[in-house]
Each structure stands twice: as C-alpha cells, then as structure tokens.
Structure 1
Amino acid sequence: MLQKKENQALKYDKGAGEFKNWLISETYFNPEALGKVEAAFSLGNGYMGLRSATEERYPNEVRGNFVAGTFNKFLGDKEVTELPNAADMTEMTFTLNGTTFQLTTGEVLYFERTLNLKNAELSRHIHWRSPYGEEYKLTFSRFVSLDNKHIIAQKVTITPLSGDLNLKLNSSINGQMTNTGTQHFKEGVMRLYNQKIMKLEARTNESNIDFTHFARHEFTLENNVFTPKNTIFMDRRKIFMTFEPETIKKNETITIEKISGVYTSRDKDWQNADTALATFSSTANYDTLFDAHRSAWKNNVWEQYPIQIEGVDFDQLAIRFAVYHLTCMTPAHDNRMNIGAKGLSGEGYKGHAFWDTEIFVLPFFTTSNPKVARQLLEYRSLSIPGAVRKAKENNYQGAMFPWESAWLEDGEVTPIWGAADIITGEPTKIWSGFIEQHITADIAFAVWQYYQFTDDQDFMEKHGYELIFATAVFWQSRLEEKDNRYEITGVVGPDEYKEHVDNNAFTNYMAHWNLEKAIHYYDLLQQENPALLKALSDKWDLKTNYQKWQEKSAKLYLPQPNSELVIPQDDTYLSKKIIDLTPYKAASQVGALFLDYNLDQVNDMQITKQADVMILLYLLENEFSPEVKQANWDYYEPKTLHDSSLSRATHSILASDLGDKDLAYSMFEKASRIDLGQNMKSSDAGIHSASIGGIWQVVVNGFGGVRMLDGKLYLHPQLPEKWTGLKFPIYWKGSRLLVHITKNALEISNLSNKDALLTLHGNEITILANSTTLTTI
C-alpha cells in the first residue's frame, strides 16, 4: 500500500538554518509521476547528467545518464544524431528476508526524497513495511561530483526494525539502456578487477566513441568495514555482482557505498581504458568525495553567483534552482560542446542546442562567468564548417547555422517528422530545420553582447569578428529583391505556429542588425587592424560582401508600426482569423490547442506560440518607443499561448519595462514553476533550459533593471511589491560588481581594481575600484 498522498507532491519549505530555501522535497511516492522528479531532481556537472531514477526499478521510470558531446546517429535514414543513454550505474536491487524492496508493495510508512541545491546531493528517507509485516528504515544518498567530473557516488543504509535481516544485493552496470528503444552501442569488454572493480566497455555504433564504465562497492556494519560473500555475473551488455552479507541483527545498520565512473574517448585527456581504470582506482570513499564535491559547489557556484532575493522564500529557492541547473547542464570543461534544450536531464530534443543557448542561457554566463560564456561561443566558431555546409546545401553563401546543432561537424540535425497531426493522422513535418533561420543572427547578437560586456578583444580577433562577418555573408545571400527592396520570405520566426511566412518582423530586424554590425566592424578593422581584416577578407571575400551589405541593408524591408502602432508579425498575420483562446491559455497541458486543430489550421489564425514581436522589442529595445511597446503588448499578449517554456520570461521583463509590476511578477511566478512547480508531468522529457536561463534574466534584467544598450550599462531597478531586496553580481568590462537593491536604496560594490561606469535612472555614475556607492532611489 502506498503512502497517503498530501495536497502537494513537492514541498519547498523543508530547509531550516543553513539550508533554508535550499531544499526541494517530494513527500510521497507516486509511481505514475516518476519523470518529473527524475528530471527536476537530476544531478550533473556539465560533463554528464544523471536522471534521478531510484536504485530499485519501476515500470514507468526513464533512467538516463548523458555524457556531453557524445552524439551518435543510429544506423537508419529516419534517425538523427542524439546523445546516447549511457550505461546505468545506479541500479541496485535489495532483497530483504526474501522480499524484494519495492515502494509499490507492502506499506510506505514514511517517504521523503530531497534535492539539496546547496550541496547538490539527492537523498531518500524511507520507513517501509514489507508485505509480511517486517519493517525497515532505508536511506539513499547520491551525487554527481563537481570536483571529479567522471564520478557518481551512492550511499545506502538499511536498518531492520522488527527482526534480523538476511540481505541480498544485486548491483550492476547495465549497458542495456536505450533512447526510447534505440540502442546506440556495440557491445564491448566486461571484466571484474581484483574481485572488486566492475568494468563495462562500449562503443557508439556510428560515431565510434568509446565509453568505459567502472563501479566498486564498500560495506560497513555498525562502522566496521567488511567484505561480504559476492559473486560476479555477466549478461548481454550487463555486468553485475551479487552480495550476501551475514545476518544483520535487529536495529543494526549496514552501509553500502557504490562509487561509479564513466570515461569516454571524447574526453580531451582520454588515453585508453587502462589509464581510465588507473584513474578510477585512486578515487576515495563517499564522504571524502562528497567533501570535495561540496567545496566545489561552494567555491565555484554559490560564491560565484551569490543571488539573494529578500521577501519571498519560494522565489529565493527558484533562482537557486535555476543556477543549480545552469551549472548541471553547461559543459564548462570543453568548448567543443554546447547546452541542449533539455540540458543533460532527459532525452527531449536529443541533446541538441538551439537558439536557447545564445538568447536565453548565455546572458547568465556573459554577465556572471565570462570564461564559460566565451567557451560556449567558441563552440559556434568551431562549428562554422557545418554552418557553411548547410548554407551551400541551400544555395546560399557564408555561415547558415543549423536550427538544431550537435557535434561540431554535424551541421543540421533537426528531425524531419514530429508529433501526429490530429486531423490527418500522419506525422507532422518539422520545418524548423529548413526555414527557421533567425538563429544565424541570434548567434551574431550573442557574440556582440558578450563583447560589449567583456571587452574581450582576444575573443573577437580569434572568433567574434569572423562569426559576425560569416553570418552577414549568409544574410546578404539570403535576401530576395522585390519592388526595389529586399525581403526574407518563406521562413518560420520565433512563433513556430506560423510556417512559411514572409517578412517575419523578428527575422528581418535581426538580419538587418547583423548586416549593420558587420559593416561597422569592417570599417573598424580597416582602421585599427587591417591585417586581420585582410585575413578574414581572403577567407570570406569581404570586399565584395561589404558592398552588398551596404546596398542590401539599406533596402531591407523592416515592418513598421501601423496606424495603431502594431508591428505586423509577418505579412499576413494581422489579416488572419481571431478565435477565443481563453480555454487554451487556461489549460494545464501545453499544446492543448492541438487537441482541436492541426498546425495548418493554426497557421491561419492569429495565435502565437511564444514571444515573437515581443522578444524583438526586448533584444532591440532602444529601436522602439514606449508607445510602440505598449501597443504591441496589448495586441500580441492576448494572442500568445506561451506554449514554449521560454515565452513567459520575456513577457515578464517587458511587463516590468511597461510599469506593470503585478503582471511582471505573475509571469515570473508561472515561469519559475514550469519545472519547479506542482505540475507532475511538466518535465518528463527533461528540464527546460531556456526557461531556466529566462528566470535569471527576469530577476536581473527585469526586476534588477540591468540592460546593455549601445555598449553602455544601464540600471533601472523595479522590485516586485513582495520583495524587500535583491542582491546579485555582474561583470562589466573587467569589473565585478555586487548590486544590492532595496525599496529605497541601491548599493553597488566594485570588487575589482578597475573603475566602472554605468547609467542609473538616466544619470551616469562611476563606481570607483574597490569601493561601494550607495544611492537612494
């Protein structure tokens, strides 16, 4: 019998003392809603991400361990490359006096599973009565080490409460895992070393990446280390050991540690499986590993990003949850890799990178950890060959970046077919990989934004200028001449409910911006670094393209506000049918619209999936008046379903700009609860990376009022009524600033040796090096 359910599955107030607003707890076990906690409570370090499936197995679980950058394409024409689900090293089966431990049998007298964000550790505390009336206390703890990126550590304690215990443990490295049925690995060598360390090798069947997995166990009974009777077994793609300790007396506690490691030939320091074994063999026990892991989170994360919200406990928890997952999902160790739309927490979107990184996630790192931001942008630079290939395949020039990206040379990896069409019963064609092209300008925008914040000239000379020029070459080749102007036709904009549209406002404006920036930097390099310009010109024929940029940029059609100050989302949007969206906006299920209509029908209605014109008003905000922003908000927000998780964050920031604090906060609340809230199906396929990054943007750019316009830093704080204070760090042109906003004052501490110039409420001020400035607001 399962534990009686409470009103809420997740609790946010379990933390006290040093852990106040650091803990998220699941308070009853629901076997029908495993995916939510597996993803939201997932562990990771940027090298790998581990879904938080339990040690024991259940029918509805989706176990997953994903190693960044290890993409593989299963042999077959209908498959695209994806992150393969590596061998599961967390599985353990416990037989207690002849009964297999399962929370779906017997009676759960107490259950609590907790993710401790501060220490990045997952724990379960259980009081279980078996079907035969025997009671046990079990605790499970695990972490994925931030100190040693290869290591997963688990600890289990079992205490028999009603009598002695005869325990049998099966513990495995299970290489039988699939990606929703697709097996990505060739079977490799299995072995047991020194009667202690299990090894399973595997190789991806197309990309030929070697994986080596190890696991070892240690046993303690009442603080005495011992080695139980054990037997090794091997099955197809699976190696496991059976342990049978001697009888454990009533109220005695047995502790089991399982330390696992994964190494791949994609690792920069990879040599072979033997060197990986030597490295793994030297790892310490759980507690020692945990101390180093906890210190790494303290020093590298929480002291690096000390964001404090004063006033609402859940909001403080939410921003920590965002920073936690930003750390777990980001491959900060390797510039050949990027961030997937589901991070490393699930199979959703196959681990591919979208514009989510540049527009929604990268700003966090650009302003909080520029070193990581640079590496993420270097990934785009290193993947230029794939972008060039895509451009050529589409009869364009320059670098046409894929809508979905994987490994550097892969090029476009967007699947061609998606969900079922509710009307025709056929798969829906995914057009994004063919015609959603704004990502090319989005990447150029992120390059420029990074440069403005950091003044990283070395990056620009090695990567940045080329990215801006190569993308501008694409745009000049993409533009179509018509009636003495240039247009962009047949695209998908950010609103993916509108396909094959002409002159999507966001796409046209961003392409124009890209061209203008290329012209600017061409002129700049001509004066300041002609040698670099010549090298880039020889590669990209910039002399010819410069003239085309000037001509076409001047004539590129930019949709203007109409008589009601509304910018047409595209050429036909404003003439389409309007329907009542109230039931769909209120639906708990994302995409409820498609239970009644197919995409072709939605394409002919004034329905917007996510921020489109609105995100244009955010990114290029100084090009539009407050009146235009208000008019477009009034027109488009009622027609926006927010069926993409990235949408509400943008709308919240704009609501702050428009002075509607209540609406801005309401949008923030909804965004912060997409993964963290009580909807127990919202995150089954993985957490929402763009939304996670968007939450940080709402806090810092929206409520904190931080903006970069024309190379200058602006602050215009607008705290929600429920908050009494907000504190966050920001890097600006080499200075690290700590900003503390209260209802009546703004305190800025410059923690560097360089003065910082910024604009506060329209007035320029200088924050002297190693000083603090206090201003009333």
Structure 2
Amino acid sequence: MWILSEDTFDPAKQHHKETIFTIGNGYLSTRGAFEEGYPNDRRATFIHGVFDDAPIVVTELANAPDWLALHVLLDGEKFSLATGTILAYRRELDLQSGVLRREVRWQSPQGRVARLIFTRFASLADEHLLALRCEIIPEFDGQVELRAAINGQTDNEGLLHWQPLTQGQLTDGTVFLRTRTRKSRIELALAMRLLGNAAQTAFWDVENVPTVQQVYVARAGQPIVVTKFVGIATSRDTAAPLELAHRHLQATPDWESALAAQRQVWAREWERCQIVIEGDDEADLAVRFSIFQLLIAAPRRDNRVNIGAKTLSGFGYRGHAFWDTEIFMLPLFTYTAPEIARNLLDYRYFTLPAARAKARAAGYEGAWYAWESADTGEEVTPTWVPDFHDKKKLARVWTGDLAIHISADVAYAVQQFWQATGDDPWYIERGAEIVLDTAKFFASRAEWLAERGCYGYTDVIGPDEYHDHVNNNAYTNLLAQWNLRAGLETLAWLDQHAPQKAAELRRQLDLTPDRLQHWQTVAEKICVNVGANGLIEQFDGFFQLKDVNLADYEPRTKSMHEIFGIEGANEYQAIKQPDVLMLQFLLREQYSDSQIRVNYDYYTPRTDHTYGSSLGPPIQAIVACQMGDIAEAYEHFIRAARADLRDVRGNAGDGIHAASAGGVWQAVVFGFGGLRIHPDGTWAVYPRLPSHWRRLTYRFTLRGTTHTITCYPNGHYTMG
C-alpha cells in the first residue's frame, strides 16, 4: 500500500488534510494546501534552520514565501473549490515517489467545465528544486489564463517574519524574489521558471508577489500543460542564495527528467527502510506513511538542525525539537540511515555550548540540554501558555525548568548510535564528549538525601507531564544512573582506544579522580522506590495519590489533564504516558519479564492512552508484545498508527506527530518484529505477530551490514 488518497473534499477537515498531504525533501516541507488557495487555509513551507524571533515562544520556523501559488481562470472565472461545483475530485500522495497529485473536474458558476490535474514534488534528488505541473483539459472553447507567482506575503498565523529585498526578472526569463527574516537576518531567494506553449506571456512586477501571466487558447478536449519549477536557497547555504537557486533551476531541463530523478532517489531511500505487512492494509499504509513523514523531514546535508516535534509540517511547537527526536525518531535512522542519525546527533554536539550555559545559569556543571531547542540550542520553552479552562488566563509551563531527563535521553541516543554503527571516529571526536558532559551534569545536579541515605533529584518533571514538581522520578533517576555509568565506561574506553582524546577531555571537562569517584558513588546510591514484587513507584508519593478508574470518564474527547486541570492532575494517578514502562523498554537488559509484567499491569490501566501523549501508545505496544499480550499490543499500535491519518486527537492540523511516527516504526520492528539488539552489538529476533498478519518483512542495518527479516505468525522468521 503506497497511495494515501481522498475522493471527496471536506472543508471541515482542511487543516488535517493539509498536514497529511505534506511533501518534502529533508531541506524543506510544504503543507498540502491547494495551489489556487482556499479560505482559511494554513499554507506553509518550512525550511530547516530558518528561525526568526517570535513573542512568547522565543523563536519559530519562519513560514517561507509561497512557491505553490498558481491561479487558473477559465474565460475570466477563477478556479476555486470554494465556488462553482465540484463534479469529481481525487487527491493522492504516492509515498513511493513523494509525488502529490490532485485531479478535479469543476464547473464554474457560469457553467464552464474543465478537468484540472495538479502534480507537485519537492525533489529529493536536488533539495534546492521544487516542481509543480498543472494540466487543464477544458470542455469548452475559449481562453485559459494562468497566473503563477512567488508570494512573499506569508506569515506565521499573523506574525510577519519576512522583509522583502529585491525582485524582478533575469535575462533568461527567470522570475525571482529575495527576502530576509526580520530579526535573524537569514536571506532567502526563490527563482521561478514557467514552461508551456502560451499564446502570450507577461511578467507582473507586483510588490512582494512577482507573477508570470500566461494566456492559452482553449479548445474542448485539448490539454493545456504548464510546468512551474522553483529554485530555492538561503544564506545558510551560501553567501549568494539567488545565484544558487538560479543555478539549480537552470540544471533542470524538463518535468520528465526531474520526475525520473525523484523516483530513482526515492527507490534507493525505500530500499533500506521499507516495511511490508501482509494481511493488514491499514497497518501497511500507516507504517509507510510514518516512515515517509520522517524521511522528508530528515536533514541529509545539514548537521546544524534537528527534527521538530511536528517535523516541518505545521505551526505546532514552532519547529522546536524535544527528546522526541533522540528517543522516538532517531532509532529509525540509526538502524536504516546512519548518516542521517549522525547529522542529528551532530546538532546536539554543536549545541553543547548552549547546554553548558543552561546548566551554569542554574548553578550546575556539565551539559543540561534545552527541553525545547531551536537553532542555537538555547532554551526556547515558553514560560506561559493559555490555560486549558480559561484562555484569558495563563498557565505556567515548567518543563524548561524541571525536565532534566533530556540530557540522559541525548546521551542514550549517542550510545545507541555508536553501538549500532561502530562509528568509533565520530564517537571519539564528538559523541564521547556529549556522554561525559551530561554525566557531569547529573553528578552535579544530584542531591544527597540524608534521611534516605541515597542520591536523588527533587523538583523535576518526568516524561509523564501530568505531574510536575515531583521528587525522584524513576525514569529520571535511573536514566541519570545509566548516564553516569556510561560516562565512566566511555572514559575507560577512550583511555584504551584514544588516549590522547581521553587526556584532552579530562583536562577540558576537569574530570579529576575525585570527580569520577563521585560519579561512581552517585550511580551506586541512586534513589528508587521498588517493592518486593518489583513494582517501581513512578515518583515519591505516587502510590499515595488518588487512584482513578479512567473508564468512569468515558466517553470523553479531552485528556485527563484538561479534565482535572493542570494543578488538579497532580493529585491523581492518571498519567500522560507510562514513565516506568518507557524506562524498562530503554534499559531492557536490566529487567526480567516478570519485573516488567508487574509494572505493566499496574501502570497500563492508569495511562491516558487515547488523549494523553501521542508518545505513549507505540512504546506501550512494544512492551505489550514483550509480555505476550499481542491483541492488546495491536490496539496500542493501531492507535499510534492512526494518530495523524485519522486525526485521533483532533490536532493533526498543527502538524505531524513525529515522535508517534517514529514510535510506529519501533513498534513494528522491536515489538511485533521482535528485534532485540544487545549493548555488545549482538542481536536476536523474537517475532510476535498479530493473528491477522500473514507476514512481516523489515530491514535494519547493524555495523554496516543490512539484514532483511521476514516473520511469520508461528513465531518463526527467516533472514534474507
């Protein structure tokens, strides 16, 4: 199943569909808005790294000038789905080639009928090239007029980020627009060329909207075909963006060659990461959709950017990156496209100075990564947001102040990448420093709790954000313990394999024998509340909170956070996502099945699966698979798989749930596919397929070798 499609246009679902029909190429993404526009659309193109200042949220990806703009007039009547009559409609996104196609048969208010076919793609073969084709088959004799533009009058939901510089037409007919972000001063250039056999062509020098007008003679049944190519570049790429954009435009001779290159590159892309589920078409399509959305957001030539929580597909979270990347998205790349994973981890290396500055400002040593991170790695989490119950009031956001587990999450991803790839040179040069400096932070942040005789972390927020200002969150404490031990192991490995680098980092990070001994002591004496049966308390006092039967609140359309209120949620055992199960998934080697089972049975009924975090269901599915609860695992998996395709939470219009998309891949490979990779690089497969799946095939790459695994319902598997 490769085709995501719709056969009717429903204006009520407009923003949701704009999100799921997003296209991109790892450099930028463009939402699935219509070329001709539609009232209240959220048309947007976001380019990696192009941030600009914004109130409250500090900075945000600036919505780039609209390259799609293409208006069609039939004998003077402007084509629009908001007027006239839609006689037939179909839109489809081919995930195999990254091509979006829309076909409409439309009757104008005055009765003229035409079939219009719009096809577009963002070239994966050339990240600076965008392509759009419009085919019009009139059912009347008369005139067809096209107006193709670069529209610089875009905004971020009312906030203007762009200041026009120059525009015009070059000697070869190329139309261009140069503009610049108002605060960050990033220059952007777009160059447009139109191909077609027009009876007449004119350039309209409209301020900030340079436009090419073409007029065609319309004959019933005779197609009119127009191709619009756009070259795009920023000052992040080169000192002369217009020259670069123009050069890429000139290098593209025609639609057919550009499309052929697109298909060829996408074929290679899918070759390494394709998953095939036989017996469940919905799951098969959903997994490919999830992978596609991450592939089009993945930077291939830029290691200074991260993937935001909503990829590049919407205004949600303003393009900011969270732990979502390292824990949920990165495994897909680590095990199928390690060069992309390395780019994303380089971003964390380059933002170490900001992480150190954040720790220092709070009175700690080491590196404390920002909860929300943008271009510089500085903390950009908003301090206040509108309250759930009264939008006139503001509610305090504490994650930027209290979510310290982010540093361990980054270190975990570094170690996972290194173990999976065996990329010693990168680890020596960059990865080891991240692991050591985050360990230094956790040693500095640890508090000796004399009454309990252990080290802990008070006043934190764990992954379960329904509860803030908690003490000794199990996920945080035990990931900190892991990070400290990983730091000690890393230094020992460097001493043996890269002694010069080890000596350099000892000096640079002041890793004295006393400091390292303190790391060891903190790791050995970390606080964690574990019962005799292995049940881990999520944080101090969690078991004393009011228990809650979530079934009593059904049916509902809101999260328990909204129902209880931000403060009220702290009083109940209802959780946004299961911290403890996430912990046991990441540190799988440390827990037996029986230890996981007791925690699974306790925390599962207390988790807000449907309206809580989109991050929870895929991990819940993996753990359920490990426990042998396959039917229950499938329920959680399909909830995650439908998150955007069916707009389960009603907020897909804000952008793709990227962590959920990455979690879907993990649920299939690590859950149903049963892949278990041990820290020493060895691996095993324990398939547990849903009863209606006939076969599952997936690929993964480990230390340069790609393996193809085919799993069967009887628990057997083959390697190809």
For Structure 1 versus Structure 2, the TM-score category normalised by the shorter chain is over 0.9
Question: Is 2:332 aligned against 1:364?
Answer: yes
Aligned position for 1:324:
292
What whole-Å deviation, never above 9, does each CA across 1:402-450 have from its counterpart, x for those lacking one? 111111x341111112232416841222111111110100111111111
Alpha-carbon distance, 1:169 to partner: 2.2
Aligned position for 2:467:
498
Question: Is 2:507 aligned against 1:538?
Answer: yes
Alpha-carbon distance, 1:585 to partner: 6.3
Aligned position for 2:346:
378
Question: Is 2:575 aligned against 1:608?
Answer: yes
1:433-452 equivalent positions in 2, closer than 5 A: 433-452=400-419
Alpha-carbon distance, 1:61 to partner: 0.8
Question: Residues 424 and 194 of structure 1: is their aligned pair in 2 closer, same or farther, counting only changes over 3 Å?
Answer: closer
Contact 1:646 1:690 in 2 (8 A): yes
Question: Is 2:204 aligned against 1:232?
Answer: yes
SS at structure 2 position matched to 1:675:
coil
Aligned position for 2:2:
22
User: Which is worse superposed, 492-501 or 677-686?
Assistant: 677-686
Look up the equivalent residue of 2:12 and give its one-letter code: E
Contact 2:201 2:212 in 1 (8 A): no
What whole-Å deviation, never above 9, does each CA across 1:557-589 have from its counterpart, x for those lacking one? 1221x25542111112211112332265654x4
Aligned position for 1:529:
498
**C-alpha separation in 2, matches of 1:732 and 1:724:** 26
Question: Is 2:274 aligned against 1:343?
Answer: no
**C-alpha separation in 1, matches of 2:156 and 2:94:** 28
User: Which is worse superposed, 283-292 or 520-529?
Assistant: 520-529
Question: Is 2:217 aligned against 1:217?
Answer: no
SS at structure 2 position matched to 1:338:
coil
**C-alpha separation in 1, matches of 2:669 and 2:458:** 36
Aligned position for 2:107:
129
SS at structure 1 position matched to 2:571:
coil
**C-alpha separation in 2, matches of 1:35 and 1:59:** 11
Question: Residues 272 and 65 of structure 1: is their aligned pair in 2 closer, same or farther, counting only changes over 3 Å?
Answer: closer
Alpha-carbon distance, 1:666 to partner: 1.4
1:178-193 equivalent positions in 2, closer than 5 A: 178-193=155-170
| Partner residue of 1:91 out of 58, 69, 72 | 69
| Partner residue of 2:277 out of 304, 309, 318 | 309
SS at structure 2 position matched to 1:57:
coil
| Partner residue of 2:717 out of 710, 721, 746 | 746
Aligned position for 2:548:
579
Question: Is 2:90 aligned against 1:102?
Answer: no
Alpha-carbon distance, 1:34 to partner: 1.1
User: Which is worse superposed, 286-295 or 675-684?
Assistant: 675-684
1:447-462 equivalent positions in 2, closer than 5 A: 447-462=414-429
| Partner residue of 2:654 out of 681, 685, 689 | 685
Question: Residues 100 and 323 of structure 1: is their aligned pair in 2 closer, same or farther, counting only changes over 3 Å?
Answer: same
**C-alpha separation in 1, matches of 2:345 and 2:480:** 19
Aligned position for 1:11:
none
Contact 2:186 2:234 in 1 (8 A): yes
Give the number of aligned pairs.
713
Aligned position for 1:9:
none
Contact 1:422 1:594 in 2 (8 A): no
Question: Residues 628 and 675 of structure 1: is their aligned pair in 2 closer, same or farther, counting only changes over 3 Å?
Answer: same
SS at structure 2 position matched to 1:291:
helix
**C-alpha separation in 2, matches of 1:195 and 1:716:** 61
| Partner residue of 2:480 out of 491, 511, 517 | 511
**C-alpha separation in 1, matches of 2:266 and 2:497:** 42
Alpha-carbon distance, 1:40 to partner: 0.7
**C-alpha separation in 2, matches of 1:594 and 1:539:** 44
Question: Which runs of 5 or more residues in structure 2 are unaligned?
Answer: none
Contact 2:154 2:160 in 1 (8 A): yes
**C-alpha separation in 2, matches of 1:470 and 1:170:** 55
Alpha-carbon distance, 1:508 to partner: 0.2
What whole-Å deviation, never above 9, does each CA across 1:437-491 have from its counterpart, x for those lacking one? 1010011111111111121111111112111110000000101112132110001
Look up the equivalent residue of 1:530 and give its one-letter code: P
Aligned position for 1:111:
89
Question: Is 2:213 aligned against 1:242?
Answer: yes
Contact 2:231 2:245 in 1 (8 A): no
Question: Residues 681 and 98 of structure 1: is their aligned pair in 2 closer, same or farther, counting only changes over 3 Å?
Answer: farther
**C-alpha separation in 1, matches of 2:277 and 2:302:** 32
Alpha-carbon distance, 1:680 to partner: 9.3
Question: Which runs of 5 or more residues in structure 1 are unaligned?
Answer: 1-20, 220-224, 750-777
User: Which is worse superposed, 100-109 or 273-282?
Assistant: 273-282
Question: Residues 250 and 272 of structure 1: is their aligned pair in 2 closer, same or farther, counting only changes over 3 Å?
Answer: closer
Contact 1:36 1:680 in 2 (8 A): no
Look up the equivalent residue of 1:67 and give its one-letter code: I
RMSD of aligned alpha carbons: 1.8
**C-alpha separation in 2, matches of 1:519 and 1:275:** 47
Look up the equivalent residue of 1:136 and give its one-letter code: A
Q: TM-score normalised to the size of structure 2?
A: 0.96
What whole-Å deviation, never above 9, does each CA across 1:55-87 have from its counterpart, x for those lacking one? 11112210110110112214x5x3411111000
Alpha-carbon distance, 1:622 to partner: 2.3
What whole-Å deviation, never above 9, does each CA across 1:240-265 have from its counterpart, x for those lacking one? 233223x3122221111111121001
**C-alpha separation in 2, matches of 1:620 and 1:490:** 24
SS at structure 2 position matched to 1:283:
coil
What whole-Å deviation, never above 9, does each CA across 1:5-40 have from its counterpart, x for those lacking one? xxxxxxxxxxxxxxxx11111111112211111111
Contact 2:369 2:377 in 1 (8 A): no
Aligned position for 1:481:
448
**C-alpha separation in 2, matches of 1:116 and 1:153:** 15
What whole-Å deviation, never above 9, does each CA across 1:164-194 have from its counterpart, x for those lacking one? 1322222211111111111112221011123
**C-alpha separation in 1, matches of 2:235 and 2:49:** 11
**C-alpha separation in 1, matches of 2:540 and 2:224:** 69
SS at structure 1 position matched to 2:175:
strand
Look up the equivalent residue of 1:309 and give its one-letter code: I
Contact 1:584 1:641 in 2 (8 A): no
SS at structure 1 position matched to 2:67:
coil
Alpha-carbon distance, 1:272 to partner: 4.3
Question: Is 2:525 aligned against 1:559?
Answer: no
1:45-60 equivalent positions in 2, closer than 5 A: 45-60=25-40
Question: Residues 608 and 282 of structure 1: is their aligned pair in 2 closer, same or farther, counting only changes over 3 Å?
Answer: same
User: Which is worse superposed, 180-189 or 729-738?
Assistant: 729-738
**C-alpha separation in 1, matches of 2:110 and 2:348:** 59
Aligned position for 2:228:
258
Alpha-carbon distance, 1:319 to partner: 1.7
Question: Residues 647 and 423 of structure 1: is their aligned pair in 2 closer, same or farther, counting only changes over 3 Å?
Answer: same
Q: Percent identity?
A: 36
Contact 1:419 1:427 in 2 (8 A): yes
Contact 1:415 1:430 in 2 (8 A): yes
SS at structure 2 position matched to 1:127:
strand
User: Which is worse superposed, 24-33 or 684-693?
Assistant: 24-33
**C-alpha separation in 2, matches of 1:259 and 1:582:** 54
Contact 1:576 1:604 in 2 (8 A): yes
Look up the equivalent residue of 2:699 and give its one-letter code: P
SS at structure 2 position matched to 1:468:
helix
Aligned position for 2:691:
721
What whole-Å deviation, never above 9, does each CA across 1:301-355 have from its counterpart, x for those lacking one? 1112232212212222122112211210111211111111111111111111111
User: Which is worse superposed, 539-548 or 393-402?
Assistant: 539-548
Alpha-carbon distance, 1:547 to partner: 1.9
Structure 1 segments of 4+ aligned residues over 6 angstroms from their partners? none
**C-alpha separation in 2, matches of 1:141 and 1:229:** 22
Question: Residues 567 and 425 of structure 1: is their aligned pair in 2 closer, same or farther, counting only changes over 3 Å?
Answer: farther
